Structures are given as structure tokens and as C-alpha cells.
Amino acid sequence: MPSLTTYANIDPATGDHLGDVSRGGADEVDRAVKAAAKAQREWKRSSPEQRSRLLVATAAAIRTHRDELARIESEDTGKPLSQAYADVDVCARYFEFYGHVIESYYGQTIPLSADMHVYTRREPYGVTGHIVAWNYPLQLIGRAAATSLATGNCAVAKPADETPRSTVRLAEIIHSVGFPAGAFNVVTGLGAEAGAALAAHPGVSHLGFVGSTEVGSRIAHAAAERVVPTILELGGKSANVVFADADVDAAVPSLVRSIIQNAGQTCSAGARLIVAEDVHAEVIEKMARAMEQVTIGHGLDDPMLGPLISVRQQARVEGFLSDIGDARIVTGGSRPDGLAADLGGGAFIAPTLVDGVTPGSTIAQQEVFGPVVVAMTFADEAEAVALANGTEYGLVSALWTKDLSRAHRVAAEVEAGQVFVNTYGAGGGVELPFGGFRKSGYGREKSIEALDEYTQTKTVVIKL
């Protein structure tokens, strides 16, 4: 049984006890930060070639342990095994990508005048702190660790309470390939204890957070008190906008995947379906039919849809579905029938489509974080744009149309960090800048842009 210094790790599909997790606090965070600071004194003087070699070696080691990491990720999060494998592959890709691009990352020379030689240097911050969510543990910490280490920083990570094991295993892998001892550290524990201690630690020079807008605001306040830069990836209520000329049959599989992937527990999930009046009935009918074919079960059995992360999250989703006003549930809306006997205690919700929602209603405005999509209609392009921009979030949107001019025109008007046309990436690839507008956060992860987030510019001016 867990003690005051540990807590239970629960399988969300069955409610079974997977093991106990160390409950770190301020003392453990302090030791981790000091270890990172010590390692960074050496690591900041490493060459891009040295960093590249170790980052690429980490990618290879992750792939060597692919089966083990995917199983851990599936057990902890509940996600289908094939999705867990994809997360391992993306984690490896981050280390590989940043291992390659860091050797081409330079400062600039500035032609100020003939008697002045001016140049800029990109220098690391020092110790970076990372507090990440439970929905994509390996992906989220992989991209943060790879970028931090590539740019000469050292890092301390606090994984989510519910999903600590893959981050701990990643730390062991990073250490095994030859990074300096202390270059990447992990402190497991509760957010209010270990996470708060990391956000407030005076030795942390840069903070990254992935999670809810509410907690992100507290992280930003803690960082502001110490004048520390932050990257915040927060909530979303992303829209799929389907115009009357869209290829509906081609769109529906992506529309469904965008909301059932990871059981809808994705900040960039396609949670709002904004449909032209002329094709509304067709889209709703085909979406409902496709959602009713989704297989549900234990993540390790690799269904299309696994459980939510916890029974607490299950209850939260059910709360949203009990307050939909005059809207109607077309399919789903409850715990699924026909589950295996051992999954009776699992945190499952059937894929759910709610039609006719009022744009200003709670379920249309707030992040449900479950396999629940809400649908509404529009009459013209202006109304479509207004609805797409009609929440406090701005993370991802997608447009479905055969009209290329409309695609460019509307993409410019939609307020989101990523806009897809006739596809939906739910965050996109490693190469694509990712981050939000408004209350979806600020700063950019992924891509070459992330290197600028993890470094600071020093300008050197020499009188000749």
C-alpha cells in the first residue's frame, strides 16, 4: 500500500494498482536542480557536434526499447497500444531532429558600420524546468528534453502524477548514452508539491508547462515573480470547419480521429464541428455512423478507443454531458455497453456526438477533454470564421473545402497557432511550430523555432 512518501499508480482501464510512485517534494526538487546546474557548467561548453552525437544516440536507444516504452505508456495512460507506439516513435524523432538541426543553428553578424564588428550569440539559459500533462508523457517530455539539451541547457522534469514511469525510463536512457550525470533529472510526485516547488525554485532559469489554462496561469505567476521566461501550452477547443463544397466522405475519417485519438484527451482535439447548413445532415449522419463503429477496450488490446485517464476525469466528462441544454446527443453520451467483465471499473466513455449546441454554451466553450464533439451550423463564410474564433482558445483549426482561395482567405482570418486544410494533424509533426493564441498559451515548441525559445541572444560589439 502507498505511504505518505508514495502514492498509487492506477491502470485507468481496470482500476487496478500498477505500483507505488515516489512522492517527491521541495527537497528532491532542490537536489535535482543542483545536479542539473552542476552538469550545465560542463554541458554549456560542449560543441554542437558533441550534442548532436548524444541526441542521435538517444533516439536510437529509445527505438531499441520501443516495446517496453509503448507498454508502459499504454498501461499508464490507457491509450491504445498502437497510439503508444506512435508516441515512442515521435519521442525518438525529437531527439533525432534536434540532434541534426543543432549543428546548423548560428548567431548573426550585423553590418552596423565599417569600424564596428557586431555579432550575436545564442546562449543557453541554464537549468530548464518542465511540468507536463498526462496525455502524451513521452512526446511532451521528449520534445522539451531534446530541445533543452540540444541548446546547451540541462533540465529537470516533473511528469504528471498519473503517468510517471515513461519519463523515469527516458531519464535512464538519456543517462546511458553518455550525457553528463545530472543533465536530465526527474522528480515524481504531486503537482501541488513537486510541481509547485519546481516552478518556484530560484535555480530554474526557464520554465515549460503543458496542461490546463488554470494551472498554467499559476505557473506563469510563479515565473513572473522571478522574472523567468516560460513556454505555456494550455487548453484548446479546436474547430473543424466543413464548407458545403467539402469532400465529406474524405473528411469524416479525420473528423472522427481528431476527437477519439487518445480518448479525446488532446489539447488540440477536434472538439467542435462547424458545418455548412447545406451539408449538415449528411455530415452528422456519417459522423454518427463512423463513431458507432469505434472499438473500445483495454489499451494493451489495441482498440480504437481506450479509457479516460481516471474515474475522476470520467465523472467530469459526464458532468458536461448532463448539461447540454436544448442540444441533442446523436450517439454515445454515456459509459459504453458490452465491455469485458474486467473493465467494469475502467474510466470509459463512448464516442459522443452532440448536435445543435448553442455556440455560447458551456459544452461548446470549455474543454471537455474526452471523446465528445459538439456540432453547430453556419450560413456563410463570415459566420464560419466568427464561430471558429468564438472561444477563448486558439490552438488548432481545420478547414474542409475544395476552394483554394477560400482556404487561404479563411486561414488568414482564423485565430489559431496551426490551421490545417483538408487534413487534421492534432498538433502536427515534429517539424511544425506548435503553440497557441489567447488562452491556449504562448511560445512555440517543435520545429527550429523552439531553439530560439530555449536560448537567449547576446550581442557583441567590437570597435575596430
For the chain, how many residues are written? 464
Model confidence pLDDT, tens digit, residues 26-81: 999 999 999 999 999 999 999 999 999 999 999 999 999 999 999 999 999 999 99
CB atoms closer than 10 angstroms to residue 63: 16
Model confidence pLDDT, tens digit, residues 331-365: 999 898 888 877 888 899 999 999 999 999 999 99
User: 417: pLDDT confidence band, cut at 50, 70 and 90?
Assistant: very high
Model confidence pLDDT, tens digit, residues 311-331: 999 999 999 999 898 999 999
pLDDT at 284 over 70: yes
Q: What is the mean pLDDT of residues 168-175?
A: 96
Domains located in the chain, CATH noted: 6-234+440-463 (3.40.605.10), 239-429 (3.40.309.10)
Q: Please give the share of the chain, as a percent, with pLDDT higher than 90.
A: 86
- Supply the pTM of this predicted model: 0.91
Residues in contact with 58: Cβ distance below 8 Å, sequence separation at least 6, in sequence order: 92, 95, 99, 146, 173, 174, 177, 179
User: What pLDDT score does 426 carry?
Assistant: 57
User: What pLDDT score does 339 carry?
Assistant: 82
User: What pLDDT score does 1 carry?
Assistant: 43
User: 3: pLDDT confidence band, cut at 50, 70 and 90?
Assistant: low
pLDDT at 2 over 60: no
What are the two backbone dihedrals, phi and then psi, of residue 37, each rounded to the nearest 5 degrees?
-65, -40
Active site residue 172: no
Q: Which of 233, 367, 445, 453 is catalytic?
A: 233
pLDDT at 276 over 50: yes
Long-range contacts of the stretch 331-335 (C-beta < 8 A, 24+): 331/288, 331/291, 331/292, 332/291, 332/371, 332/372
Q: What is the mean pLDDT of residues 231-256?
A: 95
